[in-house]
Structure 1
Amino acid sequence: MQQQWINKRARIYWYDQYALNEQETAFAKYDPERIVGELLFTGADIVALYAANQFGIAYYPSRILPQHPGLRGRDYFGELCSRLQARGVKVIAYINWLNSTHAEWNLVPLGKTQEECTREKPLVSWADPSRPNRRVQNLAGGAWECPCPLSPRAGQMVEIAREIVTRYHPDAFHMDMFHGVGICLCARCRKALEVVLGTPEITAEVLNARWADYVAWRTEVSADVVDAVSAVLREHGVIAAHNAGVPLLPVSYGFSEKWLPSLDVFLSEAFDAFLTHPTDLNTTSIVVRLQHAVGKPAWILRTSAQIHYAHWPISEAQWRIYASACKANGCKAFGPCGIGAYPDTTTSAQMLRRVKEAFDFYMEDADLDEGAKSAAKVALAFSWATRAHFDERPASGTVEWAEEFTGWARLLIEEHLPYDIVIAETMTPAELGKYDLVILPDLANLSDAACAVVREYVSRGGRILATGSTSLRDERGKTRAEFALADVLGVASQGSVKGHFAVQRPIEPAPASGTFQRVRSSGSVLSRYVRVDPAGSVGGVKDPLPLEVMDWPVVVRHSYGRGQSVYVAFDIGRFYELHGDEHIGIWMAELVDGLLPSRQIVVKAPRTVEVTLWEQDAPRRVIVHLANRTVPWTLPTDRRQPTEIIPVHNLQLSLPCEWPNPKVSCRRAQISSSVEAGRLTVSVAKLGAYAAVLVEPGDRSGISS
């Protein structure tokens, strides 16, 4: 299903109205006209309204779920939905996978027992113990209970969706928190897994050993639930906008590429707001690129409250950081989520003002998004199969491959190199042919078909930079005897070792850590492995004394057909993600520059400024987006969140220009420009949160403006 409104830049207000199950103040000041007025004040184009909250309690008269007693029978969702739609606002009906009426449905994580996880808590005063769906527990704030994906909750969600869309006809529908359902070993799951895994003894060790079978089953179960809910929506022309989370998080949560056919938009949150590893201020830009790669409209939500609070607004600087990232990367809908409104339905006046200011800032340059396409010449490959099968202990929720991927993604942002993300499982030679360089970040799990695409791309003159175990396993996790891309990379596998080592560098050996692939090379060896003191580091850290250069190659350059490859024999992206040290970033940049014919755009600016390059046909122009993330604390903590964006002065940009006398202008900054020998040089006097440099054909008189 495709409707135009989901694929345009828009302001989305994810209007979370939390309430405890036993709370006298809940809905005490409910006034639909006031609430609608507040939402309209912000300028929201799309509003998500709770139809059922984080405890599975309905905010409308439901035949399936208990309704919150604070509403006294009033139809919160229906009254707000009809009023907003009458004013031209798109409405999303918002329900939650979490539940408080059926403790026996609860997920049982690894290491927990059925009894402790499914023990019913005390009931609220208004519960009806005689009716299963009315046994409402008195849960504390944040003490949410997550049902197992095999529980009757799955079928209940389908019936709730049908009840809501047939009665209210919302524009879209959202199921939240299903993207975060972890490994479950309840009686239902154990029974199914005994068949899948062939043993009644299901432990972390068994799951790790049989991960390919487990994850195929788990992701199928998860996708079936989403598909069943979306099937109801599509019967009624309602957009499926479920929370897809962030694919950088563990596959054990259930979200996978199998969800994609059931999603009309890819809705995600700025997860660095929760200080979740491996996220930071660059993550939103990375996720929006990934949303584009899977072919879905990109929708991003940012929790609107500070990390210690539920209702107090984040700073203006924080809003601008995320809005700028979204503008620079072609995001469509952007806006706040989180608990937001107080239980009595009032909202902090400062919260509403901040949201309005963020929306105004986000929409200022909406014309730059219309029909714009990325002009990046570097591609970074993402692999669903590698995400699913890479880690050695996936049952523990490790994200080792995500660290390799994000290490490279952040390096490219910090180096001001425009890039796109491509999907290894669906990429084609024609798609790759648009790029000067394709980076394969430790893509261990590549199918024969994906390897054939890479091989054809390089043979035709393409360039790849591959790291670590790329192509050493197939898409199901089975280890190959040899790199499937051995002929392209010019290496042959001789096993691997894990630990600290050093690497030949021009001045002296430099420290490195990770999983090192021992290879024999038929290409040109640019750097070799340096053995370190087996006694270890005197400080108990990661740079033991370098001893001697060994024969093992670390960097190999190889020609294949008309193209080139560079192979790095360890997970250097993960090394950078975990350490961020200057010498690692310099080395990675050298590897990239050694393959690129030239940089698409040369930028003189701090590494905290993101630069993206887009093109439009009508009007015909090139757009250089500048998103400034220079803040006092580049890795925010629960004690320090950004409160200001530090202005950057005297930025310089240089890029090829096809027009001899271009018209060069800038939104939100003062610039000067000149053209010489086919290159445009732009100087930006002062960059705040965001600016956009526009390059268009000049008039025929030869005079540019």
Structure 2
Amino acid sequence: MKTTYQREHWRKWYLKDLLHVGYWPKYKSWQKEWVNADIKKIVGELADSGFTGIEWGGPENWFPVTAGILECHPAVAERDGDFYGEIVEECHRRGMKVLLGFSSKGTSEGKAKFVRKNWEVFKKQGIQLNGEDTVGHELCVHNRLMVDGIKEAVSAMCRKYPIDGVLIDFPVYRVSFDQETREINCDFCREAWGKFSGSPLVPEEDWNSAEWKQYVSWRQDCISDYLGELNSAVKSVDEKIFTTVNLLVRTVDSALHDNPNPDHCKGKVDNIIYESCLMSYGLMDVSMCLKLGRAITGTAAGCCLKNFELIFDGGWAGAKPSLDETKVLTYLGMIHGSWISFHSTMDENGEPHPLRTEVYRQTAKDISPELKDFQDLESAANAAILYSRTTRDFYASANPSAFLASFQGAEQVLNHLNIHSDYLLDSQITPDYLQKYKCLILPNTACMSDDQAAAIRQFVKDGGMLIASGETGLYDENEKFRNEFALSDVLGVKFNGVLDIARKIIGPERGKWKKQPFKLLDTHFIDDKEDIEIMQVPWHAVTGDKQSRILAKWCEVREGTNHASVNMGREIIGLHDDPCIVENDFGKGKSFYFSGDVFYNYSYRCLRFFQSLFKKIVVGHGGVDVYTDAPKSVETTVMKQEDKCRTIVHMVNLCNTNRWNNGMLYPRRNPDDIMRPSKRTDFPSEEMAEIAMTYRRKPSSDSTGPIDEILPVYGIKVYIKNSLLGNKKVILKGGKEIKPVTMEGDFAVFEIPELKLHNMLAIE
């Protein structure tokens, strides 16, 4: 007799059951073999290997033909018994959680039949019927027939099966309109926009226009509101059911203005899961997305792992990642507290792929005994970087890289210094939220409200450290020019019009950045006698207040000089009066201001000069409690387990046998090419193919993935501030207590003898 399954509330298990497998078989009418898979064998082998969860994409193809009646795949209809019911029952019998995947826009045959049945309604979207499928405007979040149908389908799925969670796949919404007349093609969108704005027309793309900015914000909120409706449909069945959404907001390589407003997504879904494709999005972007996901929902994001080759071989061509590659990606997600899903594990017939499954099962067997050190992790970062959506959308506008390259550069310099950081959203810049941090970084955060400025001012006054660059705070939250920095008193500088040297070298186009030498004046910040470097010249000039200290000035160069040198071929003949780097004491705290956008500069050129400079600033002035002295191929996080009173320093080694990335943590792509505006070419078909040609290595007998073997790193030093250490013990992975090898200032120094794939120190 079947027993009634009692769901646990998702908060009790989702940060404990960390190892999942995702089965997303193909759903073509001619492909039926997957429904004949041996469910007990599949689930049994996974459970025996240490997996604790499974995601199955079967019900994504369901779509309501009429209210309450679901259209299932023909292969399922021909099979005896309840295929999905058997999956759910067997997983629960073996102690595994079950998430069923669901498409947020309806898919394939079921949707096409639904559209045809209700064509009089759907033709108002401006779509066309084309053979078996529909083309054009796929999803309209204002078409209530479609939205209510999708809600009914997902809630019916939750009512029928005692599942533990729902994975909502990739909500995408775009407004289709005539470029000349600006008239929206979809009747539903036209009506919704007209009710919101009072106009049936989409305004001209003018980023100085309040109407256009209002339109961008409205479009983003439409997606998050739709997502909230799907979430509510699930929670109406049982609030214990876990909801996660795939690819909600990416950091660098997304069609940005079609993403939801990250500040409006909290409460619309429990969690976000990101697809991590090694060598496509890049390793550093994995960490960036996971940290952004945590900022958006307040919960650790999930990480869906795909082998790089699956992208280009259609996912079914016998690709086999190496064991080291799979483990390093698993650790990379788990050190952020994330749950991991091994994706694309089936072959073309719906059976577990023999090569990939062998690697995934071995990974789970090796890592599952270590799960106690990755469960219920919360960030213990002392530093935070602001991901400003208003700056991204309103200041950077049609060229998102004007902000995102700066944001990426800030992450990259801390990453290379092995300093763990959190991300903050605009709505989180409040006095209470900032109290948990010691250091706040504003990478060219041009747009800032008065309330945000007041919160940051109080943060520094109370003892915090602020690092800002470029035009930070020179505009309000609607990109209205202030004529003065919102944080002028905190930064110790005043706006002084257009920079003199900028008139000579920037040219008429704002944003056509040129580099200029600058000279460090404070010997405390000079490393190895290097005191001159180059940085993008800002268009604006600043003057320092009387109490502030000028650490660097722009150089005067002789016109017409052009010879090979570190200073861009310019002969230095003196110094300008214009400050380049300014230090200022404010209350109990301190600020450092770079008039040039140093983080934008670092995203292009990862110079040791800037690494040394930021280490002296962040570490030397008390911005962190823990950091490591390790190669930049080592990823470090500082996490805490509140219930166990433990702080854990996790380290993952990314140093491998292949030439890819030239030792960097992500493919060296020009940020302007990565972060193109919404009119860019299609990313998967063009940019990823280009990356494949550049970085993909030839298959070996051991693996078709980009990593064969991770190379060990020796002699890593971990610096722990004495105030954090106190009388606690430091335990190395495996349970051995270690003692500091030396003391340096306020830090106790511990040594990691060897880092193969993963190692850790627990302070307890």
TM superposition score normalised by structure 2: 0.77
Q: Is the CA contact (8 Å cut-off) linking 1:558 and 1:564 kept in structure 2?
A: yes
Q: Which residue in 2 is equivalent to 1:432?
A: 434
Q: Deviations over 1:130-187 (max 9, x none)?
A: xxxxxx56x9xxxx98434444543322121122112223221222121x44554361
CA shift digits 1:478-497 (9 cap, x unpaired): 33232211121122224565
Q: Does 1:502 align with 2:545?
A: no
Among 165, 169, 172, the alignment partner of 1:176 is 169
Equivalent of residue 340 in structure 2, options 330, 334, 338? 334
**Deviation per CA, 1:46-97, whole angstroms, max 9, x where unpaired?**
22212344xx456999965643223343343333223223333221121113
1:40 aligns with 2:47: yes
Distance 1:282-1:669 versus aligned 2 partners, 3 A rule: farther
Aligned to 2:648: 623
Measure how far apart 1:567 and its partner are: 0.9
Q: Secondary structure at the match of 2:474?
A: coil
The 3-state SS of whatever aligns with 2:215 is helix
Deviation at 1:222, TM superposition (A): 0.8
Secondary structure at the counterpart of residue 475 of structure 1: coil
Partner of 1:133: none
> Is the alpha carbon distance of 1:618 and 1:297 closer, same or farther for their aligned partners in structure 2, counting shifts above 3 Å?
closer
Counterpart of 1:651 in 2: which secondary structure? strand
Q: CA deviation at 1:464?
A: 0.5
Summarize deviations over 1:308-356 as a string: whole Å, max 9, x none.
Answer: 230323222222222222332222x11222x431342112112112222
**Equivalences for residues 148-227 of structure 1 within 5 A:** 148-151=140-143, 152-178=145-171, 180-182=172-174, 184-185=176-177, 187-188=185-186, 189=189, 192-193=192-193, 202=202, 205-206=205-206, 209=209, 210-227=211-228
Q: Distance in 2 between matches of 1:555 and 1:105?
A: 62
Q: 1:528 aligns with which of 553, 556, 573?
A: 553
Once the two structures are superposed, the pairs formed by residues 255-404 of structure 1 within 5 Å of their partners are: 255-256=260-261, 257-270=263-276, 273=278, 275-276=280-281, 280-294=282-296, 295-304=298-307, 306=309, 307-309=311-313, 310-311=315-316, 312-331=319-338, 333-337=339-343, 339-370=344-375, 372-393=377-398, 398-404=400-406
CA distance, structure 2, for counterparts of residue 369 and residue 73 of structure 1: 43
Seen in structure 2, the aligned counterparts of structure 1 residues 149 and 303 have a Cα distance that, compared at 3 Å, is farther
Moved more, 10-19 or 491-500: 491-500
Shift of 1:290: 3.1
1:608-647 map, 5 Å:
608-616=633-641, 619-631=644-656, 632=658, 633-634=660-661, 635=666, 637-638=691-692, 639-640=696-697, 641-647=706-712
Q: Deviations over 1:610-629 (max 9, x none)?
A: 23334446655442222111
User: 457-466 vs 526-535, which deviates more?
Assistant: 526-535
Q: Is the Cα–Cα contact under 8 Å of residues 316 and 354 in structure 1 kept in the other structure?
A: yes
Cα 1:229–1:199 change in 2 (3 A) is: closer
> Which whole-Å CA distance do the structure 2 matches of 1:6 and 1:371 have between them?
9
SS of the aligned residue for 2:603 comes to helix
CA distance 1:264–1:372, change in 2 (3 Å): closer
Deviates more, 1:409-418 or 1:471-480: 471-480
One-letter amino acid of the counterpart of residue 288, structure 1: L
- Out of 4, 14, 22, the position equivalent to 1:6 is 14
Q: Name the residue aligned to 1:413.
A: 415
**1:88 and 2:113 matched:** no
Whether the 8 Å CA contact 1:19–1:343 is kept in 2: the answer is no
Match of 1:451 in 2: 453
Q: CA distance change for structure 1 residues 170 and 622 in 2, over 3 Å: closer, same or farther?
A: closer
CA distance in 2, matches of 1:536, 1:302: 51
Could you tell me how far 1:577 is from its partner in structure 2? 1.6
Out of 731, 738, 741, which is 1:665 matched to?
731
Root-mean-square deviation (CA), in Å? 3.8
Q: Aligned pair 1:519/2:519, yes or no?
A: no
Cα distance in 2 between the residues matched to 1:204 and 1:581: 41
In structure 1, the residue matched to 2:259 is 254
Alignment partner, residue 120 of structure 1: 129
Counterpart of 1:703 in structure 2 is none
Distance 1:207 1:469 in 2: 17
SS in 2 for 1:241: strand
Q: Mark the CA change 1:313 to 1:207 in structure 2 (over 3 Å): closer, same or farther.
A: farther
- The equivalent of 2:570 in structure 1 is 545
Answer yes or no: is the 8 Å Cα contact 1:284–1:322 preserved in 2.
no
Tell me whether 1:648 sits opposite 2:713 in the alignment.
yes
Task: Say if 1:512 and 1:346 are closer, same or farther in 2 by CA, change over 3 A.
Answer: same
Q: Which amino acid aligns with 1:688?
A: K
Q: Conserved in 2, the CA contact under 8 Å of 1:94 and 1:174? A: yes
Distance 1:220 1:661 in 2: 49
Deviations 1:202-255 (A, max 9, x none): 587347844421222112211221111111111111222122434414431232
**SS of structure 2 residue aligned to 1:393:** coil
Q: 1:26 to 1:518 in 2, by over 3 A?
A: farther
Amino acid at match of 2:284: N
Matching residue within 582, 585, 601 for 2:611 = 585
CA contact (8 A) 1:247 1:255 kept: no
How many residues matched? 658
Name the aligned partner's letter for residue 27 of structure 2: A
Aligned to 1:605: 630
Contact 1:176–1:243 (Cα < 8 Å) also in 2: yes
Q: Does the 8 A contact of 2:561 with 2:571 survive in 1?
A: no
Residues 380-418 of structure 1 deviation map (CA, whole Å, 9 limit, x = unaligned): 223333333331316xxx344222112111211210223
C-alpha distance in 2 between matches for 1:353 and 1:59:
38
Structure 2 distance, partners of 1:15, 1:480, is 53
Q: Which residue of 1 aligns with 2:673?
A: none
- The letter for the 2-side match of 1:222 is I
Counterpart CA distance in 1 for 2:456 and 2:437 is 12
CA deviation vs aligned residue, 1:642-696 (integer Å, no higher than 9, x gap):
2221110122233344678864432169896446568543222221010012344
- For 2:653 and 2:321, the matched residues in 1 are separated by 18
Q: Given the superposition, is the C-alpha separation of residues 453 and 66 from structure 1 closer, same or farther in structure 2, using an over 3 Å criterion?
A: same
Amino acid at match of 2:248: G
Question: Residues 542, 9 of structure 1: CA spacing in aligned structure 2 closer, same or farther, 3 A cutoff?
Answer: farther
Cα distance in 2 between the residues matched to 1:669 and 1:370:
17
Over the matched positions of the two proteins, sequence identity in percent amounts to 21
Deviation digits for residues 446-503 of structure 1 (CA, Å, limit 9, x no counterpart): 2221111111111122220111121222233333232211121122224565311213
